[in-house]
Structure formats: structure tokens, C-alpha cells
């Protein structure tokens, strides 16, 4: 049955709302979508989903069904259905009650699913995130990371202190990499290390880790939680994200007192993350002593088998490559030209790549980057260009991810 057929029965009133919600979750999961957007408009409830990082319009449902659909989702996520004027967040329960009060599996129940609602002009908008990392990409070998990066990470997680920084923009796979690394630590330690997380929110349940979700409204934020959890005798910590100076400083101080800390950080490149931390007034001695490595990553769409080879200069989009493959589109890739994604990375070892001594003088990111490249650092853009040359992706996808100009 086609996607259009799957939703055809919901194109007019009355709508079987519970079945509609089950179908939406099931079809999105089958398609491999990472996010589902249900957006009320003046005339309809529009559904879009994000596939391979790109938002795609799927269909529309009757406008009158919008409040009912959102309410049903809020019931599944244990949210307040009568509060429509404020944003709410929750996790969709893996089990639901039917009319006979029997427990039945919710569609996609083996996938970690979170719901976020937000008031808009025409009603509540809902975004459902499907964390594929809950069932896939469980270990480092499954992430399609370069072999040398996997080897570096495995060496790092065997250490007893230091900070492993995972950087990149939103949607670059940082969290998936963090959870896979966490599972690797738990598996290799055979229960001999205390593994604790502080997250906002908990996105995937990881057996073997003591996971905690912070509650800023109650005064329990990342920085406060981190200071307290250090008295819980942890060996390894996962801190969801560095968002402010206090959290950053506590993370690096924890690494100096015998803790291996892994955390994520929004930065455009591995070296720029160091520059941003210095701009946050983190003491250079903390960075040099505590920072073990920085892994910066992006997700690029992989060309479908229907792609065609081209030597036309117009298809190169100005990139320094001779032969490229361009997307065509077929039923297998839903006529997008792409099927799945892969990781491109930039791995920085501060000492090996020469930026350790430079931190003390508060050098700017551009200077630090030149130093690192002179010591053998391969940039993200270079990794992306390699993927274009290898035919894994297209020049158009390269420009979508990195832009037309190199930025620092």
C-alpha cells in the first residue's frame, strides 16, 4: 500500500483519531523519518516529516481533526490536554489502554518517541521525534564512523579522566554518537564502572547507566546536578550539553578529579569549540589539562543507486572535483535521489594537533585552526569533498551542508 493510500481514509470527516495517530507513527517509522510535524493552518492540519535531515510535506488532514489529533498525542504522552496555551513536552508511552482497559503496544513502541507541543495562530502544533538510536546505532561499529575515529574513541573511553567533546549543529547526530559511546563503555567495563548521565531531556534509555533528567523549573539544572552527582562516586559521566559557563567549568573540573566526562556542544568545527570555550572565560589551564579530544561531525545524505555520473561543470557547482554523481530519483528513494545518511567527521587531539600550547595565549579560532591543520588535522570540509569525489554524495548536498563559502 502506498503512502497516499495509507492516509486516504483520513481525508474527510469523521476521522478515526486513534487509528490516524497509530498510522502516522507507524508510517513515519517505516519510512525512517526522524521527526513528524503536525502543523495547523487556516484550512487543514498539515503533516510533514524529516527524512534524511530534510523536511518533506506528506499530506493534509481536515482542519477540524487537528485539536483531536493533538489531544490524542498528549494523552499518549501523559500531557495536560486542557492546557493548549502553553508549550508542553513528554515521552509517548510504549503502551496504551484500549476500550477494554487492556494494554496494547503503541505503533513504533520499540522506538524512543518524544512529543513537543507549541501554541500557534491556528492552534497547537506538535512535533514528534523518533529516536532511531534507541533501536539502531547501538555501538560505535554501527555508526559508519571512519575506522581511525572508532579506534581513537575506543582508546579514549579506556581512560579514567578527561573530557570528550562531541560537537556539531543540531541534527548532526551528536546524541546518537554519545549514546553509542556510552553503551561501548558499559559493555567493555563489564559493570565495573559507575556510569551516570545528566540529560535535558533523557532521549534514549541505556541499560547499565544511571540516567537523570534535570528539572530547571525546580532549580535542578545541569550545573547544579553535576556538582551533586560528583558526590555519587561516578567513574564516567555523560552531560547532555554544555550551555553556559558554569556547566562548562564544572565539566572540566570534574575531569581533573578523576572522572571521564562526555558531553555535547554546539560549534561549527572542532577548533571553533575550543575558541567558544575560551570566549566563555574557561581558564586555559582547565582546557589544556582536561580536554582529551573533540569529535565534530555532520550527517550527509547518501546518493541512491539511481544517481548518474557527470563531468558537466554545471553539476560540479564550483567544487574542485572532476567527476561527480548527481541525484536522479526513483521509487526506491521516494524520488529524492538520496537514500540514508552517513557521517563525516573532524577529530581533534589537542596535543597531537598542536593547539594545546596555543590555548594559553587565547589565540583566535582561525589561528588555532591553521595550527591544527599544519599538524595534520583533516577538516570537515575536506572529509565532505572526499565523499563527493568518492560518489557517496553530490555537490548539491555538500553545499547544503557546508555552504558555498568556507566559514571559520
Predicted TM-score (pTM) of this structure = 0.86
CA angle 75, 78, 84 (to 5 degrees): 70
Q: Are residues 318 and 404 in contact, defined by beta-carbon separation less than 8 angstroms?
A: yes
What are the distances in angstroms from CA 345 to CA 145, 148, 167, 189, 310? 8, 11, 10, 26, 26
Q: Average pLDDT of the chain? A: 89
**What is the rounded average pLDDT of the residues 291-303?**
97
> What is the share, in percent, of the chain residues with pLDDT greater than 90?
73
pLDDT band at 3 (very low <50, low <70, confident <90, very high): low
**What is the rounded average pLDDT of the residues 165-180?**
93
User: Structural domains in the chain?
Assistant: 3-133 (3.30.450.90), 137-402 (3.40.50.300)
Look up residue 344 and give its three cell numbers. Answer: 563525516
pLDDT reading at 110 higher than 60: no
> How far apart are alpha carbons 112 and 14 in whole angstroms?
30
**What is the rounded average pLDDT of the residues 142-148?**
92
pLDDT reading at 84 higher than 90: yes
Task: Provide the pLDDT for residue 4.
Answer: 60
pLDDT, tens digit, 9 for 90 and up, residues 216-255: 889 899 999 999 999 999 999 999 999 999 999 999 999 9
pLDDT band at 343 (very low <50, low <70, confident <90, very high): very high
Amino acid at each position: 500500500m502506498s503512502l497516499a493510500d495509507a492516509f486516504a481514509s483520513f481525508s474527510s470527516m469523521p476521522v478515526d483519531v486513534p487509528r490516524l495517530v497509530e498510522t502516522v507513527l507507524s508510517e513515519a517509522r517505516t519510512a525512517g523519518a526522524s521527526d513528524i510535524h503536525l502543523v495547523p493552518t487556516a484550512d487543514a492540519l498539515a503533516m510533514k516529516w524529516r527524512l534524511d535531515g530534510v523536511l518533506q510535506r506528506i499530506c493534509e488532514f481536515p482542519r477540524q481533526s487537528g485539536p483531536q489529533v493533538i489531544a490524542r498525542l498528549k494523552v499518549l504522552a501523559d500531557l495536560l490536554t486542557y492546557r493548549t496555551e502553553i508549550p508542553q513536552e513528554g515521552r509517548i508511552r510504549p503502551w496504551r489502554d484500549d476500550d477494554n482497559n487492556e494494554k496494547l503496544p503503541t505503533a513504533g513502541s520499540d522506538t524512543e518517541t518524544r512529543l513537543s507541543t507549541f501554541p500557534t495562530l491556528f492552534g497547537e502544533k506538535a512535533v514528534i521525534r523518533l529516536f532511531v538510536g534507541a533501536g539502531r546505532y547501538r555501538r560505535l561499529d554501527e555508526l559508519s564512523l571512519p575506522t581511525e575515529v572508532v579506534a581513537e574513541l575506543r582508546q579514549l573511553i579506556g581512560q579514567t579522566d578527561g573530557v570528550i567533546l562531541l560537537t556539531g549543529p543540531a541534527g548532526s547526530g551528536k546524541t546518537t554518537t554519545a549514546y553509542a559511546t556510552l553503551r561501548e563503555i558499559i559493555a567493555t567495563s563489564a559493570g565495573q564502572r559507575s556510569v551516570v548521565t545528566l540529560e535535558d531531556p533523557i532521549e534514549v534509555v541505556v541499560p547499565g547507566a544511571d540516567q537523570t533528567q534535570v528539572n530547571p523549573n525546580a532549580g535542578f539544572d545541569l550545573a547544579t546536578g553535576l556538582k551533586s552527582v560528583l558526590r555519587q562516586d561516578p567513574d564516567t559521566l555523560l552531560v547532555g550539553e554544555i550551555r553556559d559557563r558554569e556547566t562548562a567549568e564544572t565539566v572540566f573540573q570534574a575531569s581533573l578529579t578523576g572522572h571521564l566526562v562526555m558531553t555535547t556542544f554546539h560549534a561549527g568545527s572542532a577548533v571553533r569549540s575550543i575558541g567558544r570555550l575560551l570566549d566563555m572565560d574557561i581558564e586555559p589551564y582547565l582546557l589544556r589539562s582536561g580536554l582529551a579530544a573533540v569529535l565534530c561531525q555532520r550527517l550527509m545524505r547518501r546518493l541512491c543507486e539511481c544517481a548518474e555520473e557527470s563531468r558537466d561543470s554545471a553539476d560540479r557547482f564550483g567544487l574542485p572535483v572532476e567527476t561527480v554523481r548527481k541525484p536522479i530519483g526513483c521509487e526506491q528513494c521516494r524520488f529524492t535521489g538520496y537514500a540514508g545518511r552517513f557521517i563525516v567527521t573532524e577529530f581533534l587531539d589537542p596535543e597531537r594537533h598542536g593547539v594545546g600550547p596555543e590555548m594559553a595565549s587565547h589565540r583566535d579560532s582561525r589561528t588555532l585552526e591553521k595550527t591544527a591543520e599544519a599538524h595534520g588535522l583533516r577538516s570537515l570540509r575536506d572529509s565532505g569533498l572526499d565523499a563527493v569525489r568518492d560518489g557517496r554524495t553530490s555537490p548539491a548536498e555538500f553545499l547544503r551542508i557546508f555552504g558555498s563559502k568556507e566559514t571559520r
